[in-house]
Structure formats: structure tokens, C-alpha cells
Amino acid sequence: MAERPHQDLVDFASNNGWDRAYEQYDDFDLPTYVGLPTFMKLPWVPGAAELRARKADIAIIGAPFDDAVSHRPGARFGPRAIREAQYTSGSINSLQLGVEPFEVLDVVDAGDANIVPAWIDRAHAFIYRKVRDVAATGAIPIVLGGDHSITWPSATAVAEVRRPGSIGIVHFDAHADTANEDWGVLAGHGTPMRRLIESGAVKGSNFVQVGLRGYWPPVETFEWMRANGLRWHLMREIEERGADAVIDDAIAEALDGPDAVYISVDIDVIDPGIAPGTGTPEPGGLLPREVLRAIRRIAGSVEVAGMDIVEVSPPYDHAEVTAMAANRIALECISALAKKRLDGHPVRFEGADRR
């Protein structure tokens, strides 16, 4: 057999210039489409022990669950879409508030609750456990849903960690979500607020809704709301009085007794002509600008116990505009809390350190 002709070894890296000294960037500073898709490319810290050790201020949590929807599905893909709906990386600067939030606060992505499909009870149990574990470290959980049923376990977990203190809720939504049941299902996405109040996790008198409009719920549901002391502000009131006046009232009502506020934002509070990627679109809603301003006003003026942003359904979200609005809602809350820290106010729940 003839021997192969001898071939000199070629230094391909050198010949192609691939051995030059290049700067290697940290994952946090790489483009958004490179690497693990964490929220704003923040550190991935899924374990409660590490969260507690580093004393994280805010932790993003995913709740990729939509088995409790009554209309259009797809919100299980919401957490990933919200995380990816960004074009910036590295440190950011809020032009509205004049603060670089990630330079002021330790914000991390704590990963997702351990969800499997087609099992509502299990999903709610693991969302409750994940949020409770995070909140118990003192970090403020910002939960990315998922359908709105996730608010029941999420807000319950936060309320439990805060005891003996209490929380009020400011709920942005086109719909009240206070139905007794959805075709016999008690844990549907139209029922979480009733479950929260009936369980005693939150008092009806400390529950305030903003942006209600359209043709649901029926009259008997409003009768239950009235009997249990809930307060609400219809979209027509915002049109007549202005969003700022309504938000100021909602803040005062939610803090009429409680120590802190949990914010729940159903993305359908925004007009579906602007944010179409949601399960139950209702025309005639708020502008993104109004919602973002409202979140800044609330987070900047009260103690925030937690937050969720729900019902982002990417299959209906052309150009990712709904996911981008949800991403910015989270960022506005984070930036307002950073401004609060700069002004000398606490952000973390220091009471968790005594547990």
C-alpha cells in the first residue's frame, strides 16, 4: 500500500487570525440573543439558599402555566417571551426615573416553578412553593405568568411570608376575575381573586381593581364583590378623572390597613389594539404609557411585597409588542424600587431575616 504523501502541519488558527487576542465579554454584557435567556441577562439563581446568601433584592420567577384559561391558550409561553422581549444588555439607565437599577439593586432570575401540563393542582402547588421560598429570603418576587390563576398561589405565598403583617392588592385588569367557578372549576383564571379573599390570605377591603371594562363579570359577581368590601375603578372612571387620580385612590385604598402592596397586572388591561397577545382581549383599554406610569407611581410610593404580570400569549403577539409591554412593566417596577433605595428607603423584606 502506498504511503500517503507527507503534509506539513498547518496552524489554521494562526493563518486565519483566530489566535489574536480578543476581549471576552461577560454573559451579562453579551447581546440579548446569546446565551441563557434570563430576564435582562441577569444572573440565573434558582436556589433559595444562594438567594438568601447573596441577599438579592428582587427575583424574577417564571410561572409557565395556562391550563386554567377559558378562552385563548398560549400564556404558558409568556415567561420565556417576556424574558426575551428586550434589546439591551448590561447595565441600563431609566430615562423616566434617572436611575441605573442594576447598579443599585441586586436583581436575579430565579428560574421557573416546576410545572408540568394538564395538572392544575400540582402547578399551583409548585408556584406557591417557588414564590414562598423566594419571598422568604427577603427578595421581592416578580412573577411572570402564565394565566391569571397563578395569582392565587403566588399572592398567597407572599401574604404568608409577610405574616403577621398583611398585604393589599392593586389589580390591573379588564376583568374582575372574581367568579365563583369556571364551568365547575374553582381554580380557573376567572376565579383567583375570589379564592384569595375566601381563603383569608387577603381581605376584600384591601383589594382594589383598576381598568375594568367590557361585558364581564355578570351582575351577581359584582354583588359578591360589594358584599365583601372590594373596591374597583372602571375604565370609564379613568377616562373621566384621569389615570393619576384613580391610581392615587387605589394606592390609598389598598394600604387602608395593610403594610405592603402586591401588584397584579393582567396584560389585557392594555388595549388589545396595542397589545393583542392575550387570552381574553377587551377593546377600550389603557395605553402602555399609562400602565407604566401607574406602576412607577405605586412602586415608588408604597412598600411592594410582590408582583405578577400575566396572560401574555405569544401565539397572538405579532411583533412581540405585548411581551415587550410586559417586560417594561417589570422594569418600571424594578427602576422605581431602585430609585426608592437611592432615596434611603428599604426594598427587601427585612422581616424575612428574622424567620
pLDDT tens per residue, range 222-275: 999 999 999 999 999 999 999 999 999 999 998 899 999 999 999 999 999 999
Question: Which band of pLDDT confidence, cut at 50, 70 and 90, is reported for residue 5?
Answer: low
The pLDDT assigned to 38 comes to 96
Mean pLDDT for 76-93 is: 94
Which of 106, 107, 110 has the alpha carbon at shortest distance from 46?
110
135, three cell numbers: 419571598
Which of 56, 54, 57, 73 is CA-nearest to residue 65? 73
Q: Can you give the three-state secondary structure of the chain, one letter per residue?
A: CCCCCCCCCCCHHHHHCCCCCCCCCCHHHCCCCCCCCCHHHCCECCCHHHHHHHCCCEEEEEECCCCCCCCCCCHHHHHHHHHHCCCCCCCCCECCCCECHHHHCCEEEEEECCCCCCCHHHHHHHHHHHHHHHHCCCCEEEEEECCHHHHHHHHHHHHHHHCCCCEEEEEECCCCCCCCCECCECCCCCCHHHHHHHHCCCCHHHEEEEEECCCCCCHHHHHHHHHCCCEEEEHHHHHHHCHHHHHHHHHHHHCCCCCEEEEEEEHHHECCCCCCCECCCCCCCECHHHHHHHHHHHHHHCCEEEEEEECECHHHCHHHHHHHHHHHHHHHHHHHHHHHHHCCCCCCCHHHHHC
Q: Of 28-37, 115-124, 258-267, 334-343, give the lowest mean pLDDT range.
A: 28-37
C-alpha span between 333 and 81 (Å, rounded):
18
Give backbone dihedrals phi and psi of 84, rounded to 5 degrees, phi first. Answer: -85, -10
- Under the banding of pLDDT at 50, 70 and 90, the label for residue 27 is confident
- Among the residue ranges 26-40, 42-56, 166-180, the one predicted with the least confidence is 26-40
The pTM (predicted TM-score) of the whole model is 0.94
- Could you give the percent of the chain with pLDDT greater than 70? 97
Domain 37-345, CATH: 3.40.800.10
Give buried/exposed letters for 149-161 (b at 16+ CB in 10 A, else e).
Answer: bbbbbbbbbbbeb
Among 130, 105, 120, residue whose Cα is nearest residue 70: 120
Taking only the tens place, the pLDDT of each residue in 164-207 is 999 999 999 999 999 999 999 899 999 999 999 999 999 999 99
Rounded to the nearest 10°, the torsion over CA 211, 95, 84, 65 is -30
Residues 6+ apart with CB under 8 A from 56: 45, 106, 107, 108, 137, 138, 139
Buried b (16+ CB within 10 A) or exposed e, 63-85: bbbbbbbbebbbbbbbbbbbbbb
